[in-house]
Amino acid sequence: DHDLNCLNINELEKHAYNIMDKQTRDYYNEGADSGSTLRENIEAFGKYRIRPRVLRDVSSVDTSVELFGHTNSIPMGVAPTAMQRLAHPDGELGTARACKNMKVAMGLSSFATTTLEDVADASGDNPHVLQLYLFESRDHSHKLIQRAKKAGYKAVFLTVDTPFLGRRNLEIRNQFKLPPHLKIANFTEDEEPALGDEQTSNSPNQARQRKQKAASKAGYHDGEKRVNPTGPITFHSHAPNPTLSWERDIEWLKQECCPEMEVWVKGIATGEDALLAVHHGVSGIVVSNHGGRQLNGALATLDALPEVVEAVQGKIPVHVDGGIRHGTDVFKALALGADFCWVGRPALWGLAYKGQAGVELMLRLLSDEIKLCMGLAGVTKVQDISKDYLVKLIMPAA
């Protein structure tokens, strides 16, 4: 029961490339600036080779792991990515159903095009987490968190690598915006009325409002002063928040979420911040650089992983995302000490290819590859994957 047109994630990427319109393709696929971190996330896996062990009776290989009190069929889930209905009308519901069928955890973006309640319904008792951009207006965030609790989300993953939006040049050139038939679904009732006629209004107050609106649209500073974003909640205006800090915001968030939901931080890339995360009592860490979409020139996530694992000393789980395209990539990340991996773009490519069925295909391909890799490496349980199975190649200086 293979899809003979699509036997691995690279083939899936090619199909999706040809199906998606240019605006969507550019938005999904690009990295920040030159895209070097995006490329290195993928290439980092090539620095390691697996040391397979033999004659160990691998007739039964168990790829499952426990996550949020549930059995996840593989040590991998689908990372939160914004606006999935751009890829296919199935959107986030397709992803949720595919994840449920494959027993794989799903992360839902704050900037989903489907409500978190509908995704929770589609997920049933399959674990789902809400990715959170903590807004400067606590009110919006408070409401969202309460809704997530009520809908049965297991955790919030606070994204901490986005004080400003990374510079994505194609997104800027294409003047990327959501087509009118789609909505940022979780904030629609929150939208404030428009700020009046921008062309004709000239009072100082309206001029200030115009300026604020322009600044909040761009998600940037207004000269010296930070402008608190106003107006409708959009990705460009509200996702970036440069005011966040460990002391104030993590403590606030833990109180908001307690006791129903765990608080994780997504976007840790150093041992120092991993120590702070443990110190501030978060439940877990996702080593991530936002798929190379934020700070270009940052370390590939696989290269940042060992220092985070070393700092955390097993006190809390360490997950990783970025550049995972093969079962062997998952194996390598786990061998370097990750407890779990997440994939972002492959799910979007699956959606673009065949909606829910395409996400299921993506998960099946990676699931088969993980199992095969474990068997060929001589490992029958995920907990047994260790650094003994890995060797780092000595590379000539670039």
The DSSP bridge pattern shows strands 128-132 and 155-159 to be parallel
Select the residue interacting with ligand FNR from 94, 344, 358, 378 (CB under 6 A): 344
What DSSP string runs through 343-393?
ESHHHHHHHHHHTHHHHHHHHHHHHHHHHHHHHHHT--BGGG--GGGEEEP
Phi first, then psi: give them for residue 36, nearest 5 degrees: -70, -35
Q: Is residue 319 involved in binding ligand FNR (CB under 6 A)?
A: no
**Which one of the spans 66-74, 141-149, 180-188, 320-328 is the region binding ligand FNR (CB under 6 A)?**
320-328
Residue with the closest Cβ to ligand FNR? Answer: 344
Contact between 323 and ligand FNR per CB under 6 A? yes
Convert residues 13-32 into a mask of x (bound to ligand FNR by CB under 6 A) and - (unbound): --------------xx----
Query: Which pairing describes strands 70-72 and 65-67: parallel, antiparallel, or unpaired?
Result: antiparallel
Distance (Å) of CA 2 to CA 58, 61, 396: 23, 21, 39
23 vs 209, beta carbon nearer ligand FNR: 23
Q: Which residues between 72 and 131 bind ligand FNR (CB under 6 A)? A: 79-82, 109, 111, 131
Catalytic residue among 15, 290, 319, 326: 290
Q: Tokens in use for 371?
A: 């199992």
Q: Min. distance of Cβ 288 from ligand FNR in angstroms?
A: 4
* Shorter beta-carbon distance to ligand FNR: residue 256 or 321: 321
CB nearer to ligand FNR: give 63 or 288.
288
* Closer to ligand FNR by Cβ: residue 6 or 38: 38
Which runs of E-coded beta strand occur in 242-335? 262-268, 284-287, 318-321
- State how far the Cα of 302 lies from the Cα of 102, in Å rounded to an integer: 25
Residue corresponding to tokens 């765990």: 262
Stretch that binds ligand FNR, among 15-23, 90-98, 116-124, 315-323 (CB under 6 A): 315-323
Query: Which of 253, 230, 248 minimizes the C-alpha distance to 146?
Result: 253
**Local structure of 232: helix, strand or coil:** coil
Could you write out the DSSP letters of every residue in 156-184? EEEE-S-SS----HHHHHTT----TT---
**In this structure, how many other beta carbons lie within 10 angstroms of the beta carbon of residue 312?**
21
User: How buried is 18 (Cβ within 10 angstroms: 0-12 exposed, 13-18 middle, 19+ buried)?
Assistant: exposed
Interaction mask 168-197, ligand FNR, x per CB under 6 A: ------------------------------
291 binds ligand FNR (CB under 6 A): yes
CB closer to ligand FNR out of 322 and 378? 322
Interacting stretch for ligand FNR, rule CB under 6 A, among 143-151, 202-210, 254-262, 322-330?
A: 322-330
Query: Near ligand FNR by CB under 6 A, which window of 46-54, 173-181, 342-350, 376-384?
Result: 342-350
Residue 380, classified by CB atoms within 10 Å of its CB into exposed (0-12), middle (13-18) or buried (19+), is middle
- Distance from the first to the final alpha carbon of the chain: 43
* Residue type at position 29: N
Would you count residue 343 as binding ligand FNR (CB under 6 A)?
yes
Work out whether 153 is an interface residue with ligand FNR (CB under 6 A): no
| 290 in active site | yes
Site string for ligand FNR, 245-284 (x = CB under 6 A): ---------------------x------------------
**Binding of ligand FNR at residue 159 (CB under 6 A)?**
yes
Q: Which residues bind ligand FNR (CB under 6 A)?
A: 27-28, 41, 79-82, 109, 111, 131, 159, 266, 288, 290-291, 293, 321-324, 343-345
List the catalytic residues.
290
